[in-house]
Amino acid sequence: MHAEQAIDAYLRHLEAERAPSPHTLAAYRRDLKKLADWMHAEDISGVDTLRPDQLRAFVAAQHRGGLAPSSLQRLLSACRSLFTYLLREGHIEHDPSAGVRGPKTRRKLPQVLDTDEASALVELPGADDALASRDRAMLELFYSSGLRLSELVGLVWRDLDLDDGLVRVRGKGNKTRIVPVGRHAVSALRALGRETGMAAAQPVFRGRGGAPISPRTVQARMKTLAMRHGMAKRIHPHLLRHSCASHLLESSGDLRAVQDLLGHADIATTQIYTHLDFQHLSRVYDAAHPRARRKSSD
């Protein structure tokens, strides 16, 4: 089975079974095209003849070509997914990615706001323009419920149960989860609903002409609001999601609950926030413990 034929079959399967976002599907296509192009250049006839040593050579060639370790890991992940599918479907007899490892990457910790910074941002002191209700509700909901940007812009009013403080969210892979909405966010959403109406099928957050607000508009509004209030950090939707997760974990220590809230399929993804918590603990310890504090200079 030629590489291009195998990749096309796998991508059709991926699109049908997992319903990935167009961005994710395009990333898989780009990464797997690298493999197909390399196999063609090396005159490797098909995926059923590919060996682990050849796949290692492919990874090494990409590394020499300047591909960053994090990108190589993503590339290898795409290849492993492809070969798992082909093995299951009987197109290959062995997995050429077995035992193949990419270079180690240092996982970058997400930046977060502290609780005072988060409150200062979402409360929008002095905001009195026509967009204030929408902006306040967006920010409160991001911070309250840890939504992804794509999840927030896709909300319609029937997804919200403001009486019980809940929101139904369609996340990655079209998976649905129900997460709590804090009282400040509920109050902001009620205020928005009084201004715009709360028809069941209407978008909660509207842009021009009543259409759902675009992700770019949300990003631009957050940047504008942060600059207006003199915030030095780069403010973006995922920053509030990270902050929500970090603050919840810091207060509760319940990793599984935070995983459910964020909609992470793998708890290892959520565990990144435990490192943030330990960083905070280390800073407190260094500043407060009598055996950790540095002596002040005379």
Just list the catalytic residues: 148, 172, 238, 241, 264, 273
Asked if 145 contacts 236 with a C-beta cutoff of 8 angstroms, the reply is: no
CA 144 to chain centroid, in Å, comes to: 16
| CA atoms within 13 Å, Cβ hemisphere of 223 | 7
Amino acid at position 27, single letter? A
**Dihedral sign, CA of 191, 196, 201, 206?**
negative
The amino acid at 289: H
DSSP state of 126: T
Cβ distance 158 to 201 under 8 Å?
Answer: yes
Task: State the residue for tokens 């990419």.
Answer: 102
Q: Which helix (H) or strand (E) holds 191?
A: helix 183-196
CA nearest to 134, candidates 189, 187, 182: 189
- Alpha-carbon span 104 to 7, nearest angstrom: 26
Q: At CA 167, angle to CA 222 and CA 176, rounded to 5?
A: 105
Cβ contacts of 18 within 8 Å, gap of 6 or more: 173
